[in-house]
Structure 1
Amino acid sequence: MLQSLTIRDFVIVDRLQLEFDAGFSVLTGETGAGKSILIDALSLALGARAEAGVARHGCERAEVAAQFDVQALPDLQQWLLDNALNGEADELLMRRVVYADGKSRAFINGMAVTVQQLREAGDFLVDIYSQHAHHSLLKPATQRQILDQFAGHADLAAQVAAHYQAWHALHRRRVEAEQHAAAYADELATLRDQARELKQLAPDAESWEQEQQEHARLSHGASLLSGAQQCRALIADADINALDQLAAAQHVLQALVAFDPNLQEVLDVLDQAAIQLQEADRFLNRYLQRSELDPQRLAELEARIAELHQAARRYRVRPEQLAEQLQQWQARIAELELAVDDGQLARLEAAAWQAYEQSALQLSAGRKQAAEKLAAHISAEIQRLALSGGRFDVALTSQAAAATGLEQMEFLVAGHAGAEPRALSKVASGGELSRISLAIRVVTAQQGDVPTMIFDEVDVGIGGGVAEVVGQLLTQLGNKRQVLVITHLPQVAAQGAQHFRVSKQLHGEATLSHIARLEPEERVEEIARMLGGVEITATTRQHAREMLGYREA
């Protein structure tokens, strides 16, 4: 869950640090005070697109950091391990820096990451629903995703899509093979001949480097032997050699050390030099003993290198790339052999279709069962949201095989008793969509695994007793998840376990937004403001206390 959020120089916020608890929290404030700034800042930390202008006026950059408790998220912990981003065992820190020109940097647990990695991690952590997010309910893809998640079949749906793609690829290959049979046969014959030639050469990138080095050594064999013998003579064998000269110098210094001990340091250096020269002489001796001219091996290497160069020129690659070229040809030969074998390709296509059909039928059965259960649960919830007598249905209709399965689905709703359910897009007003969206979130919350849900004024268009029910539903959600709600309704705000207030103040010539966690008496004043407007009376305050009483008594 979200533990804390730190914001610096973001829009009209200079410095802000908030600590969050589990359960249901509310955030309120005057219109225009900047309530959505918190959501915008958190969205940046979760990988939202950064734009120029988010840095506070006169500041070089804005910075947002969000800390999460990830103890109950093993999938996220594994993702962090896989990406070498793991930090403290139970905590995760996500940070975003956005500069005045719109460029940004992203960090996870103090390590630089891409914005895409921020998004991937954020998908495990937070779901954000804006006041317009309920419109996504009108999209078939959203409806399908909700049903599959409720049924616990998200993985099965992904498997169906994968099986369909595999079948479709084989089907396309078979059709193409039938259309281009003659061309494929010619290409196969050519590639087999070319591959046969390269296989006889047995090219290998590593061996090529070794053969180049061996060829260079053998082709300069006489020079190497002569040079090594000359060096050995200069070190130890010539009439005047380095070891004898060094020994003479040591002898002179040895006599002088008795008169000046400071020369001992020079003598020690010469002793080490003598040891190194003796080791060099032994090395050269061993080198000369095992080295010899090998004209036959040199001729073999020159012939092989010439063949490899010739093949490389013919196929327009570098000699060290011949092995890779052979692998590519062999892979293409395997494809073409399958393509020209109509029976084998057809059998693979049939097997892929069988795998798809089996998983798709299993998904269809699960969807049918889950659709009835989801419809019943949501129908029960919307009764409480001023849709008395209303009914929610999930219609499943057969469709041609597709990556999404064997059926289309559509959410239907009847706004009152006796009405026939119709498509959500045709019968639901904005307020009804908000209520239905909330009902769906409450019903499906148990199946989800994202620990934090944030609602940005999703209660627009709702009031009166319905607003109190909305607060009860959000409290119910808060028993399962961490829920943060930006609201303008006192009936909702009064039911939060913790309450934050956003205010806007003038500091010098700058207007700054502040967010503070409210104490009990401060909550009374805020609820009273939301109830009574500009002039807050004793009656209004008493009403606010009554609304908060069962929370704070």
Structure 2
Amino acid sequence: MLTQLTVNDFAIVDALDIEFGEGMTTITGETGAGKSIAIDAISLCLGARGEGAMVRPGGKRADISATFSVEGNKPALKFLRHHELDNDEQCIIRRVISKEGRSKGYINGKPVPISQLKEIGVFLLNIHGQHAHQGLLDSALQLSLLDQYANHQKLNAQVALSHQNYSQINAELKELQVAQQQAQAKVQLLEYQVEELDAFALLEGEFDEIEQEHQRLSNSESIQMSCHRLLHQLTEDDSFNIESALNSALATLDELIEQDSSVEPLIEMLNGALIQVQESAQELTSYQESVEQNPERLAELDERLSKAMQLARKHQVTPQELPALHQSIHSELQAINHDDARIGELEIQLEQIAAQYYEQAQQLSQSRQKYASKLEKLVTKSMKRLSMEHGKFAIDVTFNESGNINKHGLDSVAFLVSTNPGQPLDALNKVVSGGELSRISLAISVITANKVATPTLIFDEVDVGISGPTAATVGEMLRELGQSTQIACVTHLPQVAGCGHHQMRVVKHTDGRTTQTTMVPLSESERVQELARLLGGNSISDNTLANAQELLRVNE
């Protein structure tokens, strides 16, 4: 329940601090006084768009606070606790807008995104604007109003979740199907390429190895001759070889040591050289023996090298990159085959979710038809109360089993009305006048308000186009609603204003340079004066005063 509203430097309001009580509060004032400013301020607290132009001329920023009692309001308390914003069953929402247009939001003193103001707002307050009846012609709103009356939150959530799951899987399925269609032309080529590379089966690093072996076999004769010549130089030449020369040098060094022992370290160096020459000769001999002429192996290597280079040119890679290419093509082909399997899985899932969706949508449709029957009787009854004695209201709920899956189900809902005897039921826009539409909209708003859990409802001049006995009935209906829900109603009708448990008056003051609007609660005697003004305009007579007193007595 809204308990207090504080407004500073907003529009033409300098400072405003008002308290709201239980039941029905009516807000009146002269035309142009700014009766809707309080509603605009509350809307900002609940996340409406803010602009720098909203700051009162001369002010630095607009500062608005709305205090709500959330005792027993389970959805609001759950929201506050979930976001760690709870404060002893009280919710204070503050909105600050600078003249540069910067906006800040607070809940119980903690800064929050403006989106959170909107989120908690739906649990605190609902505003019915003066043009709401025009939206009643929209089929989407008609469906929403029926669902509000029927408390279809749970059924709607189930249908919406199934629709979301269906949409996600369907999107993935379509993406894979498009990819599969594009890949089909490529599959045959990939299969041929994999088969060709499978048959060749070049291993990682193999090309360099066979290239090296091929080079050795191709030059085996030259290698043998070089090895033979080198071995002669090292150990085998009878006329001169390095091994014999080193042995001779060691013998000479032995003689030299006998004459001068200081050259003895040279023995170790020459011995080391001799050992290295001998080991080199042994290694060279082994290598020479391993090198043989093998025409068959050479031909085999030559063919494999040629095939490797041929495949490399074909795929525009180096021969060394063929193994990696082989793996890449193989993986691509596997992915396409996996997509085929995944498509099959998704098609089964989609069929299952569609069946679940249709079952839930049918259950929702049956419930809509049930509550449509109840709502149309209540609206018809209210139409008669609102001076539409021959009025009849009906709701057509049509289940379209072949319709497109959407988050609202498969129903089309149409509000139908007849206002004269013998007149067939037809769409609202074809039958009713603006005033009749306004009355029907108000009737539906009051009826559905009893079903909606929002603890505070604000009606902003929803009684436009209504007068006389009908206005009195509207006031009675709103007062009845005020027995269970906090109501604030901006009105210009004395019959409605007199039905309020409380009344406030909006007054505009100007000194020629600045303009200010204030809102003040009215005492009993002040209410009589205000109602008399509404009844008689600027000329207040004893008769208008008496009528005003009678209006208040009737609603005591």
Give the TM-score taking structure 2 as reference length.
0.70
Distance (whole Å) between structure 1 residues aligned to residue 551 and residue 335 of structure 2: 74
For 1:410, the equivalent position in structure 2 comes to 414
Q: 1:274-303, CA deviations, whole angstroms, 9 ceiling, x for partnerless residues?
A: xxxxxxxxxxxxxxxxxxxxxxxxxxxxxx
SS at match of 2:48: coil
Distance (whole Å) between structure 2 residues aligned to residue 536 and residue 182 of structure 1: 83
For 1:346, the equivalent position in structure 2 comes to 347
2:460 matches 1:459: no
Residues 177 and 340, structure 1, Cα contact 8 Å, conserved in 2: no
Distance (whole Å) between structure 1 residues aligned to residue 103 and residue 4 of structure 2: 21
Q: 1:99 to 1:172 in 2, by over 3 A?
A: closer
2:71 matches 1:71: yes
For residue 523 of structure 2, what is the amino acid of its counterpart? E
Residues 3 and 68, structure 1, Cα contact 8 Å, conserved in 2: yes
For residue 85 of structure 1, what is the amino acid of its counterpart? L
Of residues 455, 473, 487, the one that matches 1:483 is 487
SS at match of 2:94: strand
* Per-residue deviation, 1:176: 4.0
Distance (whole Å) between structure 1 residues aligned to residue 404 and residue 367 of structure 2: 17
Distance (whole Å) between structure 2 residues aligned to residue 334 and residue 89 of structure 1: 58
For 2:23, the equivalent position in structure 1 comes to 23
For residue 463 of structure 1, what is the amino acid of its counterpart? S
Residues 150 and 371, structure 2, Cα contact 8 Å, conserved in 1: yes
Distance (whole Å) between structure 2 residues aligned to residue 76 and residue 156 of structure 1: 21
For 1:102, the equivalent position in structure 2 comes to 101
For 1:397, the equivalent position in structure 2 comes to 398
For 1:277, the equivalent position in structure 2 comes to none
For 1:133, the equivalent position in structure 2 comes to 132
Distance (whole Å) between structure 2 residues aligned to residue 121 and residue 42 of structure 1: 13
The within-5 A match list for 1:312-323 is: none
Greater C-alpha radius of gyration: 2
For residue 10 of structure 1, what is the amino acid of its counterpart? F
For 1:362, the equivalent position in structure 2 comes to 363
Distance (whole Å) between structure 1 residues aligned to residue 178 and residue 110 of structure 2: 53
Distance (whole Å) between structure 1 residues aligned to residue 415 and residue 363 of structure 2: 21
SS at match of 2:410: strand
SS at match of 1:437: helix
Q: 1:334 to 1:92 in 2, by over 3 A?
A: farther
* Per-residue deviation, 1:424: 1.3
* Per-residue deviation, 1:470: 0.3
SS at match of 1:121: helix
The within-5 A match list for 1:47-446 is: 47-86=47-86, 88-181=87-180, 337=338, 339-399=340-400, 400-403=403-406, 404-446=408-450
Query: Which shows bigger deviation, 344-353 or 469-478?
Result: 344-353
For 2:9, the equivalent position in structure 1 comes to 9
Question: Which runs of 5 or more residues in structure 2 are unaligned?
Answer: 192-330
Residues 27 and 484, structure 1, Cα contact 8 Å, conserved in 2: yes
Query: Which shows bigger deviation, 130-139 or 165-174?
Result: 165-174
SS at match of 1:396: strand
Count of residues in correspondence between the two structures: 410
For residue 422 of structure 1, what is the amino acid of its counterpart? D
Residues 180 and 339, structure 2, Cα contact 8 Å, conserved in 1: no
SS at match of 1:117: helix
Distance (whole Å) between structure 2 residues aligned to residue 58 and residue 341 of structure 1: 66
Q: 1:11-47, CA deviations, whole angstroms, 9 ceiling, x for partnerless residues?
A: 1111111110111110001111111111111111111
Question: Which runs of 5 or more residues in structure 1 are unaligned?
Answer: 191-329
Q: 1:339 to 1:90 in 2, by over 3 A?
A: farther
Distance (whole Å) between structure 2 residues aligned to residue 179 and residue 10 of structure 1: 56
Percent of aligned positions with the same letter in both sequences?
Answer: 41
For 2:270, the equivalent position in structure 1 comes to none
For residue 391 of structure 2, what is the amino acid of its counterpart? G
Distance (whole Å) between structure 2 residues aligned to residue 335 and residue 57 of structure 1: 67
* Per-residue deviation, 1:354: 1.4
For residue 56 of structure 2, what is the amino acid of its counterpart? R
Distance (whole Å) between structure 2 residues aligned to residue 413 and residue 336 of structure 1: 59
* Per-residue deviation, 1:335: 11
* Per-residue deviation, 1:171: 3.3
For 1:216, the equivalent position in structure 2 comes to none
Distance (whole Å) between structure 2 residues aligned to residue 447 and residue 334 of structure 1: 54
Distance (whole Å) between structure 2 residues aligned to residue 344 and residue 69 of structure 1: 52
* Per-residue deviation, 1:54: 1.4
SS at match of 1:180: helix
For 1:319, the equivalent position in structure 2 comes to none
Residues 459 and 489, structure 2, Cα contact 8 Å, conserved in 1: yes
SS at match of 1:536: coil
For 1:497, the equivalent position in structure 2 comes to 501
Distance (whole Å) between structure 1 residues aligned to residue 179 and residue 111 of structure 2: 50
* Per-residue deviation, 1:180: 2.9
Distance (whole Å) between structure 2 residues aligned to residue 410 and residue 487 of structure 1: 30
Residues 53 and 100, structure 1, Cα contact 8 Å, conserved in 2: yes
Residues 442 and 473, structure 1, Cα contact 8 Å, conserved in 2: yes
Residues 338 and 345, structure 1, Cα contact 8 Å, conserved in 2: no
SS at match of 1:426: helix
Distance (whole Å) between structure 1 residues aligned to residue 128 and residue 335 of structure 2: 50
Q: 1:162 to 1:532 in 2, by over 3 A?
A: same
Distance (whole Å) between structure 2 residues aligned to residue 411 and residue 341 of structure 1: 45
* Per-residue deviation, 1:342: 4.1
Q: 1:400-420, CA deviations, whole angstroms, 9 ceiling, x for partnerless residues?
A: 142121221111111122211
The within-5 A match list for 1:503-518 is: 503-507=507-511, 509-518=513-522
2:32 matches 1:46: no
Residues 360 and 406, structure 1, Cα contact 8 Å, conserved in 2: yes
2:471 matches 1:470: no
For 2:552, the equivalent position in structure 1 comes to 548
For residue 462 of structure 1, what is the amino acid of its counterpart? I
* Per-residue deviation, 1:427: 1.9
Coordinate RMSD, CA, aligned:
2.4
Distance (whole Å) between structure 2 residues aligned to residue 125 and residue 344 of structure 1: 45
For residue 436 of structure 2, what is the amino acid of its counterpart? E
For residue 371 of structure 1, what is the amino acid of its counterpart? A
For residue 519 of structure 2, what is the amino acid of its counterpart? I
Query: Which shows bigger deviation, 15-24 or 152-161?
Result: 152-161
Residues 378 and 447, structure 2, Cα contact 8 Å, conserved in 1: yes
Distance (whole Å) between structure 2 residues aligned to residue 339 and residue 446 of structure 1: 54
Residues 106 and 113, structure 1, Cα contact 8 Å, conserved in 2: yes
SS at match of 1:449: coil
* Per-residue deviation, 1:426: 2.0
Residues 70 and 91, structure 1, Cα contact 8 Å, conserved in 2: yes
Residues 365 and 397, structure 2, Cα contact 8 Å, conserved in 1: no
Residues 33 and 502, structure 1, Cα contact 8 Å, conserved in 2: yes
Distance (whole Å) between structure 2 residues aligned to residue 395 and residue 440 of structure 1: 16
Distance (whole Å) between structure 2 residues aligned to residue 59 and residue 495 of structure 1: 37
